[in-house]
Amino acid sequence: MLDRTVLDAIEDPWRQSFHLCPARGLMNDPNGLIFWQGAYHVFYQWNPDGCVHQNKHWAHARSTDLIHWESLPVALAPDAVYDAHGCYSGCALDFDGALLLLYSGNVRDEAGGRSSYQCLARSRDGLHFDKLGPVIDGSPSGYTGHFRDPKAWREAGNWYAVIGAQREDLSGTVVLATSPDLHDWKLIGELIEPEESCYMYECPDLFVLDGCSVMTCCKQTQEVRAGNIYREDVAGYMIGQMDLGHARFSHGTFRQLDHGFDFYAPQTLLDPAGRRLLIGWMGLPTQPETPTVASGWTHCLTMPRELTLEGERLLQRPLRELKHLRGDEIRMPDVEVEAGTAISLPQVPEGAWELDISIEASIDADWVLHIYSGEDQSLSLAYEGGQGRLSLVRHCPAAGQIHERKGCDIGFRVERLQLFVDRSSVEIFVNNGIEVFTTRCYPTSGPSSPRLTAAQSVALHDIHLWPLAQRPA
Ligand code: FRU
C-alpha cells in the first residue's frame, strides 16, 4: 500500500473547486462507486507519476455528503504479476460487511500484447485493501485481451457482472457472467450485438430504473474513410429489459449520454435514499494534452448527477446537494431580447458559479448563449431553430481547441438551461437533463458577463446566478 494522498491543493488558476481532481498526475475513470458503512466512496484511475496513460492505480476519496471529499490512501497499486501494467477499472461491493473491489488487472508482454485478469481485493476497514488475486484468469475463450471493467451486483441469491469485451473477430460486446460467491465465475451470454465498426465496449454498467433495465457503456469505433482512420469513443445508454435467466437484454437504440467535448467512462451507484447517481470522467481516451499538464496534473471527474427515466430517455439532473455550495444569489429581472440584438447577464463571480435560466422562444428561433467570450478564447451554446440543433462551440487555441463544434439534434423547445461552471469546466443541463453538455475549457481572463444574442425575439425568465464555494463541512 502506498502512502500517497491525492487531493492536496496546488496553485493553478484552472484547479477545480468542486470537482474531484488529482493533486498530480493523470486521473481517468471513476471506479468502485459505492455507499458503504455511512459514507460515499469514489475510487478512480490514477497515474501518480505523470500525465500519461500508464501505471494505473486506484486512488480513493470518501465523503458523507457528496460535496466535501477526504483523500484516503491509494487502494490499489499495480504491483502484482496479474496487474503489473495497471489496476484497471471495476466496481466495489459490500460482501458480508467487507468492502470488496472487483477490477481488471492489465498485463502487457514484450511485444505489446495484452492480457486481462479480473481480480478481487478486500478491505475490512475501507482503508487498507488486500489483494486476493484473479477470479477470472485471462480472457475466456472466444475473446481477445480486451476484456475488462467488471461491474457486478447481487440478485436472486447470485452475483452477476457485466464486462466489456472484444470477440476474436475483433468486434465489441458486453458479456454477462455469474457467480455464487464472487470467486467462481462463469460466462452466461453476450448482451449486445456490436454495431458496425465497433471494436470494443468499455465500462459497462447495468441497473434497474423505474422498472426498466438501463445499460450504460462506452462504444469504441474505428472507420477507414478515404484512406484515413477515424476513431470515436462515445459514452451512451440503452433502455430495455434484462432477462437474467436467459442472459438476454432486449433494448432500444444506443443514445449518447452527453454531447460536450469531455465525457467518458461513467459509473453509477445506488444511494441509501434509492437514487441512482452517475459520475463520469471529464476526459476522453484520445485527446490532446490539457494545459494543466504544465502544473503537473490532468483531468477531473464530473459532478454527480441523479438519473431518472422519462419514456425512452434517461434524464441526468444536477445532484440536489450541490445547492449547499451556493452563496448569495446575484439577482436579475426577466428580460426580452429583441430580434437581432443581444443582452448581457450579470457579471459572474470569480471561481465557480451556477446559472439557471428559463427561455421562451419559438422552436425555430436562432439564439446563442455566450458563456465566455474573449479574443483568444470563447465558449458558447448555439441553438439553430431551422435545423433543430443545439451545439457547443469551443475555441481555445492554448489547449489546441480551434473553433470546435459538437452537438445534437433536438426535436423539442429548449425551455431551461442549468449551467455549472468550475474553474476549467462547464456542465450544461438542458430541460432538466434530457440532454447534457460537459466540457473542459481554460479561461485566461477574469470573470465576464454571459451574453445572449438572438436572431428572433427571446424572453428570459427566472434568471438565477449563484457563486459556488466549498464551506467547511
Ligand atoms: C476507459 C478505460 C477502461 C480501462 C481504463 C484504464 O477509459 O480504457 O476500459 O479499464 O480506462 O485506465
**DSSP string spanning 337-401?**
E-TTEEEEPPPPPSSEEEEEEEEE--TT-EEEEEEEE-SS-EEEEEEETTTTEEEEEEEEGGGTE
The rounded distance, in Å, linking the Cα atoms of 381 and 392 is: 5
Q: Which three cell numbers, joined as nine digits, stand for 7?
A: 487531493
Residue 2 CA to its chain's centroid (Å): 26
Judged against a pLDDT cut of 90, whether residue 121 lies above it is answered with: yes
- pLDDT tens digit sequence for 381-436: 999 999 999 999 999 887 788 889 999 999 899 999 999 999 999 999 999 999 99
Given the residues 3, 8, 12, 29, select the one marked as catalytic: 29
Q: How far, in Å, from the CA of 152 to the mean position of ligand 1?
A: 17
What integer is the mean pLDDT of 188-204? Answer: 94
Whose CA is closest to 442, among 235, 293, 318, 257? 293
Average pLDDT over residues 135-142: 97
* Residue (of 201, 202, 208, 189) closest to 90 by Cα position: 202
pLDDT band at 6; cut points 50, 70, 90 = very low
Over the range 1-11, which residues count as b (16 or more CB within 10 Å of their CB) and which as e?
Answer: eeebebeeeee
Nearest atom of ligand 1 to the alpha carbon of 164: 9
183 alpha carbon, distance to own chain's centre: 29
Q: Cα–Cα distance between 230 and 376 in angstroms, integer?
A: 29
Whether the pLDDT of residue 124 is over 50: the answer is yes
Q: Ligand 1 in contact with 36 (CB < 6 A)? A: no
Cell numbers at 189, concatenated:
451470454
Q: For the chain, what percent of residues have pLDDT higher than 70? A: 97
Cα(108)–Cα(145) distance, integer angstroms: 10
Tell me the average pLDDT of the chain: 94
- What's residue 288's pLDDT? 86
Query: How many CB atoms neighbour CB 322 within 10 A?
Result: 17
For 283, residues 6+ apart whose C-beta sits below 8 A from its C-beta are 27, 28, 262, 264, 290, 298, 299, 300, 440
Residue type, 405: R
For position 2, what pLDDT does the model report?
30
pLDDT of residue 397: 82
Higher pLDDT: 9 or 434? It is 434
Residue 3 has pLDDT above 50, yes or no: no
Read off the pLDDT of each residue in 57-73 and give the average, rounded to a whole number: 97
29 annotated active-site: yes
Is residue 203 in contact with ligand 1, taking CB distance under 6 Å?
yes
Average of per-residue pLDDT across 165-176 = 97
**pLDDT at residue number 10:** 60
Residue 5 has pLDDT above 80, yes or no: no
Burial of 350 (0-12, 13-18, 19+ CB in 10 A): exposed
Does residue 458 carry a pLDDT above 90?
A: yes
E strands, 124-275, where? 130-136, 143-155, 158-167, 172-179, 186-190, 198-209, 212-225, 228-243, 248-251, 255-256, 264-270
45 pocket-lining for ligand 1 (C-beta < 6 Å) = yes
Cα 383 → chain centroid: 24
Strand order in the sheet with 25-36: 70-76, 57-63, 39-47, 25-36, 297-298
- 448 pLDDT exceeds 90? no
C-alpha cell at 8: 492536496
Per-residue pLDDT at 112? 87
pLDDT at 9 (0 to 100): 44
pLDDT tier at 377, thresholds 50, 70, 90: confident
Q: What does the radius of gyration of the chain's CA atoms come to, in whole angstroms?
A: 22
Give the residue, out of 27, 45, 58, 279, with the most ligand 1 atoms within 8 A of its beta carbon, to mutate for a pocket test: 45
Supply the pLDDT for residue 473: 62
Residue range 86-107, pLDDT digits in tens: 999 999 999 999 999 999 999 9
Pocket of ligand 1 contains residue 391 by CB under 6 Å: no
216 lines ligand 1 (CB under 6 A): no
- Look at residue 282 in the predicted model and tell me its pLDDT: 98
Q: Which atom of ligand 1 has the smallest separation from the CA of 56?
A: 12
300 pLDDT band, cuts 50/70/90, is very high
Q: How confident is the model at residue 135 (pLDDT cuts 50, 70, 90)?
A: very high
**To test the ligand 1 pocket, which listed residue (26, 29, 284, 299) has its Cβ within 8 A of the most ligand atoms?**
29
pLDDT surpasses 90 at 1: no
User: Alpha-carbon torsion 411, 416, 420, 425, what sign?
Assistant: positive
Please work out whether the CB of residue 267 comes within 6 Å of at least one atom of ligand 1. no
Residues making up the chain, counted from first to last: 473
Is the four-CA dihedral 69, 105, 290, 404 of positive or negative sign? negative
* pLDDT tier at 8, thresholds 50, 70, 90: very low
For residue 287, pLDDT beyond 50? yes
Mean pLDDT for 442-465 is: 93
> If you measure from the C-alpha of residue 13 to the centroid of ligand 1, how many angstroms do you get, rounded to a whole number?
28
Report whether residue 220 contacts ligand 1, using a CB cutoff of 6 Å: no
Lowest mean pLDDT across 6-15, 110-119, 159-168, 303-312 = 6-15
Q: How far is Cα of residue 147 from the mean position of the Cα atoms in its chain?
A: 20
Residue 7's pLDDT band (cuts 50, 70, 90):
very low
pLDDT class for 17, splitting at 50, 70, 90? Answer: very high
What is the Å distance from ligand 1's center to 415 Cα?
Answer: 36
Q: Can you tell me the mean pLDDT for 48-77? A: 97
* 28 CB near ligand 1 (under 6 Å): yes
| Structural domains in the chain plus CATH codes | 25-320 (2.115.10.20), 326-468 (2.60.120.560)
Work out the average pLDDT over 151-171: 97
- Is the pLDDT confidence value at 258 over 50? yes
Specify the ligand 1 atom closest to the Cα of 29: 7
How confident is the model at residue 402, as a pLDDT?
A: 86
Neighbouring CB atoms inside 10 A of 221's CB total: 17
